[in-house]
Structure 1
Amino acid sequence: MLNLAELTTPYLLLDPVKMERNIARLQKHMDKLGVTLRPHVKTAKSIDVVRRLFADGKGPITVSTLKEAEYFAEHGFTDITYAVGISPDKLPRVVELLRMGVTLRVLVDSMAQAQAVVKAAAQLGHKIPALIEIDCDGERAGLSKNDPKIVEIGRYLHENGEFCGILMHAGGSYHCPDKAAKEAAAEHERATAVAVRDQLVAAGVPCPIVSVGSTPTAHFAEDLTGVTEMRAGVYVFQDLVMAGLHVCELQDIAISVVATVIGHRPEKGWIMTDAGWMALSRDRGTAQQEVDQGYGLVCAMDGTPYQDLIVSSTSQEHGIVSVRKGSKAKLPKLEVGQQVRILPNHACATASQFEGYVVPTADELVFWPRINYW
């Protein structure tokens, strides 16, 4: 059992009550809309977290690395979508998982990838289910809705027994602070997906899977007619970006980095901590939002935010804490050796800096390991 007094900072603290409340909130919404939730486990990367997402502990899940797929397969998850465009060198690892009885779908948005999938399937002696990635808002990879290559690739994969559907991610929803804009992004995502499915079906290409998702659109979707599954990941922990988008409140953020005060620069209005970018990450996802939270919002150890106190700058192992520019708040008196909690801009990026989570339960403090790398 862990002892808080003996832990070396910085470490990653996870509040399981907040986490489970976040999980239940989105699951209830998906149940209401009648759509399967396929959580993206790239945020947590921990079996101890992901087991809390399912009554039976089997999935379905989304992953962003093959290491995640292998790790969760070892723990009994058999329904996995690898939601990053496939490169040919990874296909032998995909087939190894398929041979183990795992349904692992890969993602393509070019004929070159589709041909690599078909070639590998023939050479390795196992069908490889593939999804076509669709770009609904110009934010990332994928084919545009009316691109004729969608039907061309879909037909080619279908004729070779590999095609299973389409997938898209509404990355533009991360730029939608107001409710109406997020609702519109969710409906645009849904309508685009259904339109592409209809194009494929009209061309004689069955499209059983219609997969959409982002944490903002998952929470603000009002109608998912025609969609078969929703993907979201950061909702499990939430973060300052999601709070800035009004997807959650500050008190919903379930993870924080615990840091120790190591010095002061009173002439500059700085408090120094031992949590630099190696602990917090370099993610500045709130920089373009209404409230710039620097590299993280600083809270007391009970989770109460100090007024306008942020990590304004970082180096590798130093975090510079100061009052947000323009604020009339005063720098709190934090002595050397005193600890604080720092809420992250981007839960996925901050969590990736650590080997696991320190978790206070009802009667003990435990450590939940996580995996990193590819």
Structure 2
Amino acid sequence: MMTNIYATIERPTLLLDAVRAQRNIARMALKAQRNRLRFRPHFKTHQSAEVGEWFRAVGVTAITVSSMTMANYFAAHGWDDITVAFPVNLREIAAINALAARVRLHLLVENMAAVDFLATRLTAPVAIWIEVDAGYRRSGVAWDDGAALTAVADRVAACDRMQFQGLLTHDGGTYAARTHAAIADAYATTVQRLNQARRVLAVHGFQGVELSIGDTPACSVLDDFGSVDEMRPGNFVFYDWMQVEIGSCTWEDVAVTVACPVVAIHPERNDVILYGGAVHLSKESLRRADDSPSFGAVVYLEEDGWSAPLPGAWVRSVSQEHGIVHADDATFAALSSRIQVGGLLGVMPVHSCLTADLLKRYLTLDGATLTMAPFPNSMSSQLVASG
């Protein structure tokens, strides 16, 4: 660390270890190259043009985003092959047409209503992926609904402004896994289902249909991706406490931690009160062994970054601005000897995508501030709306 960055921190601040992040990027890019996969990383995690340049440095030319607003932001920073990995929002047709005239834009469809609308309203060419629900039950055409898959593909093929690219899915099932074997099993099931959907389309004359997958656990753990053509992981750039618990990475791979001011210490109940709550960390939680929630792992902030997570301490609850750290007796004794009111304590976030979206800028360990996309974040809007 070149400077004492901690002396400058006044409020919850997202620390970024650029060395770890760039190492994560290089490792995933090499894995894609070894497997001859198109590497189209999801930029929704970092949302930063400056971090995006780290991907360019390893040869990335195509990216994934989660909204048209994000697509426009990255297009303005020179990215010209962009997938919006969210079912197409028809109310943004003007933005879609404007961007499609400037870049190679990929859109997701999962119903005939969307395809029929695009067929009559598109003014520029787009690539189309049919989103497939391979069992996650979020969005997409059911993997075993051959009639629906064929109907959508036929309608896409009938429009000269839509180029049918292939089948795309997000395998949320790997996030429930806690072993590498379980991740591999979930991935194998997803790819088997995608291949079945592709075979159905092949029977109806669709050849060269590509398969695109995109979950960080499988992309991190596996070395053989079977018959897929493209990988779109996003969270891996930073990882987080959830990915450590899943087994996707170790804590030494996690590239972000939130530095939180300590505002109170309550030894009578082994609690430390942080300025760092739901509007900073999010309300995403993991279940502990006793089924109580943890809203983040607790770490010491050190000269060269942060420590390993303290095994006997966790963020037990969050409200809007408050984070309450609880510790067992032995851990609290050690913790209270190292921190004081007015000091700082680190929280390794459960879900770095949400935490980054809330805090909107990074402070690197050498003291640089990296900005993120300037559009309003969705998470804080939801928190305000819900009171």
2:319 aligned residue (315, 321, 334) = 315
Cα gap change, 1:7/1:297 in structure 2, threshold over 3 Å: closer, same or farther? same
Distance in 2 separating the partners of 1:223 and 1:307: 33
The one-letter code of the counterpart of 2:85 is A
Aligned residue in 1 for 2:204: 203
Consecutive unaligned residues of structure 1, counting only runs of 5 or more, are none
TM-score by length of 1: 0.91
1:134 aligned residue (107, 132, 135) = 132
Distance in 1 separating the partners of 2:293 and 2:48: 27
Give how far 1:250 is off: 1.3
The one-letter code of the counterpart of 1:321 is V
Distance in 2 separating the partners of 1:88 and 1:59: 27
Distance in 2 separating the partners of 1:258 and 1:36: 36
Q: Is 1:339 paired with 2:308?
A: no
Cα gap change, 1:79/1:51 in structure 2, threshold over 3 Å: closer, same or farther? same
Which range moved further: 259-268 or 44-53?
Answer: 259-268
Indicate the percent of aligned positions where both proteins have the same amino acid.
29
Counterpart secondary structure, 2:141: coil
Counterpart secondary structure, 2:310: strand
Q: Is 1:306 paired with 2:310?
A: yes
Q: Is 1:78 paired with 2:80?
A: yes
Aligned residue in 1 for 2:382: none
Cα gap change, 1:188/1:93 in structure 2, threshold over 3 Å: closer, same or farther? same
The one-letter code of the counterpart of 2:149 is I
Distance in 1 separating the partners of 2:341 and 2:331: 21
Are the equivalent residues in 2 in contact too, given 1:193–1:212 (CA < 8 A)?
Answer: no
Cα gap change, 1:169/1:335 in structure 2, threshold over 3 Å: closer, same or farther? same
Give how far 1:56 is off: 7.0
Which range moved further: 331-340 or 254-263?
Answer: 331-340
Q: Is 1:241 paired with 2:265?
A: no
Show CA shifts across 1:217-243 (max 9, x none). Answer: 112334334311011000000001100
1:53 aligned residue (52, 55, 76) = 55
Aligned residue in 1 for 2:157: 158
TM-score by length of 2: 0.88
Counterpart secondary structure, 1:129: strand
Are the equivalent residues in 2 in contact too, given 1:58–1:79 (CA < 8 A)?
Answer: no
Distance in 2 separating the partners of 1:168 and 1:183: 16
The one-letter code of the counterpart of 2:323 is G
Aligned residue in 1 for 2:332: 330
What pairs with 1:1-374 in structure 2 (closer than 5 Å)?
Answer: 4=5, 5-55=7-57, 59-100=61-102, 102-121=103-122, 125-147=123-145, 148-161=147-160, 162=162, 163-284=164-285, 286-287=286-287, 294-302=294-302, 303-304=306-307, 305-323=309-327, 329-331=331-333, 332-333=335-336, 334-361=339-366, 365-371=367-373, 372-373=375-376
Cα gap change, 1:221/1:159 in structure 2, threshold over 3 Å: closer, same or farther? farther
Cα gap change, 1:93/1:299 in structure 2, threshold over 3 Å: closer, same or farther? same
Give how far 1:169 is off: 0.9
Are the equivalent residues in 1 in contact too, given 2:301–2:344 (CA < 8 A)?
Answer: yes
Cα gap change, 1:177/1:287 in structure 2, threshold over 3 Å: closer, same or farther? same
Distance in 1 separating the partners of 2:53 and 2:189: 32
Give how far 1:291 is off: 8.6
Cα gap change, 1:289/1:248 in structure 2, threshold over 3 Å: closer, same or farther? farther
Counterpart secondary structure, 1:306: coil
Consecutive unaligned residues of structure 2, counting only runs of 5 or more, are 379-387
Cα gap change, 1:56/1:255 in structure 2, threshold over 3 Å: closer, same or farther? closer
What is the total number of aligned residue pairs between the two structures? 364
Which range moved further: 236-245 or 17-26?
Answer: 17-26
Cα gap change, 1:60/1:291 in structure 2, threshold over 3 Å: closer, same or farther? farther
Across the aligned residues of Structure 1 and Structure 2, the Cα RMSD in angstroms comes to 2.1
